[in-house]
Structure 1
Amino acid sequence: MKFAYFTHVWGRPGITPGQRYAELWREIRDADRLGLDYAFSVEHHCTPQESWMSSPAVFCTGAALHTERIRVGPMGWVPPLRHPMHLVEEVATLDHLLGGRLEVGLASGVSPEPFLPFGADFANRHELTREAVELLRTALDSDGAIDFEGPVHQVRDVTLSFPSLQRPHPPLWVPTTNRNTLRYLSSVGAHTGSTMIVPRASMGLVYRHYLDWWREHGHATDPDIGYWTLVHVAPTDVEAEARAAAHITETFTKTLQYGSVRRSGEQHAPASKLSTPDILAGSGDFGFLLDHNLVFVGSPRTVTERIRAAAAEGHFNTVLGEFAFGGLEERHRAESLELFAREVIPALRDHSPYAPLPAYTPGDEEQVAARLQALGYLD
């Protein structure tokens, strides 16, 4: 398994943006020193109540100046908000700045609100994101003039000042659980992932297909499949839960505003029967989150077992852990990350949910579609 330090760079009352960014660089330094594989952030705009990270380039540049070995990237750039050639040049520059440690996450966007200030095309966001993937692959693998014909943008006889340091291009990530998109990503060798609001049983179904397709294309290594959630580790379960509970529910209900959705099923339904509305509606109930293993909170041993069980169900091999949330004190965040790195990561490093695979026969599209609908899967 692999492990990422994921941060939305959430603001909070009583702290300035400068102070929050100073904290961020300390967080990323800790993740680098403690041996995590990745440091990921987001691109969010005009969200004073939530993320204060509007520039992936700022995140990557700051991380480059404060780290030595960890791989760094956004999760991700939002291609529909810019001309894709801006993205190509930014990726090439940041890859050199990071000494070949850049990971390129691309996100098409989930709601129209962030698109409004830019007059951007929300309706065609998926097409624009795929176009950006194709232009990145074409432009960064070229040693001369670029010619590119996309569905929206065309590039004629353009030569980059320099290509990326990693050739043919830095690793690509496009988080999704859409089957058609996953089939495409498997063909181009792009990684993927999802979040705790998607039922893991649904994730497991589609990601097993994705892995099969990936292997059919003959890539040298298996893909990274990420899973995002909040993480807090303390010496004991009691201490971890007491520290984290209020900050977790505040993050989900007030910062992310998940709790405004009405539950569609029974509160005590097994995790395999949950829908996305169930998860959103239950996000303000810490007991619900623990009972359904939707956050990884506890002693090192408990968190290890929580991750192992979730990975088997959701078929992911990369934990995208958010350690700084709510009003959690920085010293508790630091202790949590230290325990995670010293005790949880070594226990899981050689574990893979990919092998052995459970008996599974891909190809029955109608059966899979019916199962996803029954589980409340939201595309």
Structure 2
Amino acid sequence: MRFSIYLNPQTRGPEEDVPIIEHTVAQAVRATRAGVHGIALTEHHFSGYNTYGNNFMLAAHLGSQVPDGTMFLMAVAVPTLHNPMRLAQSCNLLDVITRGNLIVGFAAGGSPVEYAGLGRDPSVRHEQMLHNLEVMERALDKKPEDPDYEWSTAFEHGSLRTRIMPAAYHASRPKFARATQNDEGVVWTGRKGWYLFTARETVDVIGPRLKLYTEALAEGGHDAAFIEERLDWSLVQKQVIIRETDAEAVAFARARMEEMGAHQRKNFAMTGDIKDSAHLKSVVGVSPQNPDEFLQRAMIVGSPATVTEQIEAFAEAGVRHMSLLFNFGFMTEAESNRSLDLFLDEVLPKFVAAGRTSGN
């Protein structure tokens, strides 16, 4: 079992932004120095759901502060919100900065606030994600001597005359992943040979999903060594709250979900004029607005012993990498650090002692 720390801190307002980002950086550095294998960073804008917004820039900043070999996971970048040439450049430059220790995951996103702010139509997010990825991949493969590449998306167009610069650390592109929660996306990801990022489901759903992914990798013609490496770094993401007792952890989790739910309802109320906004509110699966379901499917909550048992259940289902979020629902620095401290002090050592963690 590998672990990465997932960085997605929420903010209530501008007065909180700087201390939250400073705390986020400190947690990432402390976790990786304590033996956590990677850092996962996501992309959200304008809604307060993610304070730092630009995951490529924050990853580049962290690259010089964490141990060599730390894996960086963009979980995720949203292609439809980017110019595909700039996205290709960002992927390659970050791959160089991290010396090839990078997996860039992609997803369609979902928040209508984000699409509105960046001038995108959310009703075409899925088809445009796949189209933008195709444009980006063709640009990454282009050599200077190749004919000009005339490209277009639903929102812009251009002509690539030379090549994407810089090249990636080892090849023309870094390693890629897709984040998905449905069978069609899982099969697409496996056949393409990308890593699989998934979340917000129980063990009984994740186990078959990984089996389907493994079968799709084989159908794609990939050999056993390739498949094993993909399974090593594919991830399942969970929000984690750890306290001394299960009751204390669950009570704190419910309080965090209540505040997150109120915040989401406020943001969604601003987007009723946006096409498909009602559907977009649920594209990421379960929501804190449904606390019982969110607690069951999106979170790992309890005492250190309970959290260890829950992680072991995922390991038995075939999960080799879990990406864990310790700062969720407008926690204070002390509240977030309490979960991380208990994980590093009482949960992580059990997996190390049992030989159940792996490095790069």
Confirm or deny a common fold (TM above 0.5): yes
In structure 2, the residue matched to 1:345 is 348
Q: Secondary structure at the match of 2:179?
A: coil
Residue 61 of structure 2 aligns with which residue?
A: 62
- 2:301 & 2:113 partners in 1: Cα distance? 32
Correspondence 1:228 to 2:232: no
CA contact (8 A) 1:140 1:167 kept: no
- Post-superposition Cα deviations, 1:177-232, rounded to whole Å, max 9, x if no partner, equal 23333222212321122222x46544443432111111342242243442222202
Mark the CA change 1:68 to 1:132 in structure 2 (over 3 Å): closer, same or farther. farther
Q: Partner amino acid for 1:237?
A: D
Contact between 1:293 and 1:306, CA under 8 Å: does it hold in 2? no
2:215 counterpart residue number:
212
Tell me the alpha carbon deviations over residues 277-321 of structure 1, each in whole angstroms, 9 at most, x when there is no partner.
995487335xx766x4652122222101112234556x5432221
1:23 is aligned to 23
Offset from partner CA, 1:67-122 (integer Å, 9 cap, x none): 23322243211111222111011112222223333321212122444222333243
- Decide whether aligned partners of structure 1 residues 89 and 246 sit closer, same or farther in structure 2, where only a CA change above 3 A counts: same
Amino acid at match of 2:237: W
- 1:335, distance to aligned residue in structure 2 (A): 3.7
- Report the Cα distance in structure 2 between the residues aligned to 1:68 and 1:278, rounded to whole angstroms: 34
1:53 maps to 52
Provide the C-alpha distance between the structure 1 equivalents of 2:36 and 2:288, rounded to a whole number of angstroms: 32
Equivalent residue letter for 1:158: T
Distance 2:71 2:160 in 1: 33
Instruction: Give the 3 Å change call, closer, same or farther, for CA 293–133 of structure 1 in structure 2.
Output: closer
- Name which structure has the greater RCO, CA cutoff 8 Å, separation 6+: 2
Structure 1 contact 250–284 (Cα < 8 Å) conserved: no
State yes or no: 1:326 paired with 2:347.
no
Q: 2:290 matched to 1:283? A: yes
Amino acid at match of 1:175: A
- Specify the code of the residue in structure 1 equivalent to 2:187: R
Task: Show the counterpart of 2:84.
Answer: 84
1:3 aligns to what? 3
1:92 is aligned with what amino acid?
N
1:192 corresponds to 2:196? yes
1:174–1:112 Cα change, 3 Å: same
The one-letter code of the counterpart of 2:299 is V
* Structure 1 unaligned regions, length at least 5: 261-274, 353-379
Relative to 1, partners in 2 of residues 1:277 and 1:78: Cα closer, same or farther, differing over 3 Å?
closer
Point out where structure 2 has 5 or more consecutive residues left out of the alignment: 269-281
Work out the CA distance in 1 between the residues paired with 2:35 and 2:150: 41
**1:263-342 maps to which residues of 2 (within 5 A)?**
280=287, 283-285=290-292, 292=296, 294-310=298-314, 312=316, 316-342=319-345
Identity %: 24
Q: TM-score, normalization: structure 1?
A: 0.73
Indicate conservation of the 8 Å contact 2:246/2:301, yes or no.
Answer: yes
Residues 126-182 of structure 1: CA deviation (Å, up to 9, x unaligned)? 333234444554444566445657784675542233201132432212111233332
| 1:103 match: secondary structure | strand
CA deviation map 1:218-260 (0-9, x unaligned): 2422434422222022344355445544224433x234459x9
Give the aligned length. 330
Larger displacement relative to structure 2 (27-36 or 327-336): 327-336
Do the aligned partners of 2:181 and 2:199 also contact (CA within 8 Å) in 1? no
Q: What do you get for the CA RMSD once the two structures are aligned?
A: 3.5
